[in-house]
Amino acid sequence: MGLRRSGKSSIQKVVFHKMSPNETLFLESTNKICREDVSNSSFVNFQIWDFPGQIDFFDPTFDYEMIFRGTGALIFVIDSQDDYMEALARLHLTVTSAYKVNPDINFEVFIHKVDGLSDDHKIETQRDIHQRANDDLTDAGLEKIHLSFYLTSIYDHSIFEAFSKVVQKLIPQLPTLENLLNIFISNSGIEKAFLFDVVSKIYIATDSTPVDMQTYELCCDMIDVVIDISCIYGLKGAGTPYDKESLAIIKLNNTTVLYLKQVTKFLALVCFVREESFERKGLIDYNFHCFRKAIQEVFEVRVKVLRSRKHLSQI
Ligand code: GDP
């Protein structure tokens, strides 16, 4: 959610539809509620609701209770290049209304369009928005509502990074995935590994070493290269550009190797390996085989649990 022109549609198009940021200049502003399912093409089994900013919570025709009851995360977008006082008032109203219906929602605030701000200005804007939003909650006696803040822009990878964090909070298996990644990299001499949703370039898990933005950007670029090459030269008949055989190795000129392999229909593992460790590729491939099996089992359990729940509710 967020005010008109804050950048909601642009974020959706850039993250989920590979639109280039410059093309968003020509997007029509959102003025009705739109719903989009991204579950058919992506691991992230969810719907996006794009809300126009000026929603009247007291309008009886708008059943926000129904929507918020099933919501995992509410992202509120604030245009940092504009005067944000009205946005803050809207944020407060939105968060408090949603919290009343569903106290389990994660509230995520994207301080957006920060590409136009200097580094000092970014920090200052984040501090100011953080302070004011939390003061408003305290004044209303709702300090228990937790808001998370992210500095974002569609002109760099910050929007993908922020979306990754938002999505990770919604994945119950995250600790298991992180654990598997830790075991995999430490037994294979790998520096860093990410598990990516290929379509959106959201990383749904990584090992516990720190994430640095450059490494993440390289991984995103690699996915783009692989999919583009595959689309141009690899499609036979009705094939898809990403399948069981998908695999790529890119050697950089700084003795690092980037290694990408398919894990499931939607997920890819992207690793950073030193050249000397990559000489033991047989070991990496064997460990990868075990890793892939484990990941598939993790998600099979989830499917079984979901099926049995459905079955129970039918009974
Ligand atoms: P909506 O009404 O909230 O859906 O807003 P739009 O997505 O239509 O975006 C409004 C304008 O903001 C468009 O001209 C976008 O190009 C621009 N915009 C969106 N995101 C960014 C960003 O990260 N940085 C900059 N500088 N402009 C952005």
Measured in Å, residue 6 CA sits from the centre of ligand 1 at: 6
- How is residue 117 annotated by DSSP? S
State how far Cα 298 lies from the chain centre.
20
| The pair of three-digit structure tokens given for residue 162, joined into one six-digit string | 């922020």
* Å from CA of 19 to ligand 1 middle: 12
Ligand 1 pocket member 4 (CB < 6 A)? yes
Residue owning the nearest CA to atom 9 of ligand 1? 7
* CA 103 / ligand 1 centre spacing (Å): 30
| Closest of 107, 33, 27, 30 to residue 67, by C-alpha | 33
User: At a CB cut-off of 8 Å and minimum separation 6, what does 126 contact?
Assistant: 111, 149, 151
Q: Tell me, using a 6 A CB cutoff, whether residue 75 lines ligand 1.
A: no
Question: Which residues have C-beta within 8 Å of that of residue 169, sequence separation ≥ 6?
Answer: 73, 106
**208: CB partners within 8 A, 6+ apart:** 178, 182
Distance CA 246, CA 260 (A): 8
Whole-Å CA distances, 227 to 60, 206, 241, 260, 261: 46, 21, 6, 11, 12
Q: How far is the CA of 82 from the centre of ligand 1 (A)?
A: 12
Q: Is the ipTM beyond the 0.95 threshold? A: yes
- Rounded-to-integer distance, Cα 84 and Cα 82, Å: 6
Contact 257, 273 (CB under 8 A): yes
**Token duo for residue 296:** 């598939």
d(CA 11, ligand 1 centre) in Å: 8
Question: What b/e readout covers 143-157, taking b as 16+ CB neighbours within 10 angstroms?
Answer: eebebbbbbbbbbeb
Confirm or reject: Cβ of 175 under 6 Å from ligand 1.
Answer: no
CB 10 near ligand 1, within 6 Å: yes
What stretch of H or E contains 205? strand 202-206
pLDDT in tens, the chain (315 residues): 888 889 988 998 888 888 888 888 877 766 667 777 766 667 766 667 766 656 666 666 667 788 788 888 999 999 999 999 999 999 999 899 899 999 999 999 999 999 989 999 999 999 999 999 999 999 999 999 999 999 999 999 899 999 999 999 998 899 999 999 999 999 999 999 999 998 888 899 999 999 988 899 899 999 999 988 888 887 766 677 788 888 899 999 989 999 999 998 889 999 999 999 999 999 999 999 999 999 989 888 766 666 666 555 444
What is the distance in A from the centroid of ligand 1 to the CA of 79?
Answer: 8
Q: How far is 19 from 15, CA to CA, in rounded Å?
A: 8
- Which residue among 4, 6, 24, 112 has the greatest number of ligand 1 atoms within 8 angstroms of its CB, and so is best to mutate? 24
pLDDT tens, position by position, 264-286: 888 999 999 999 999 999 999 99
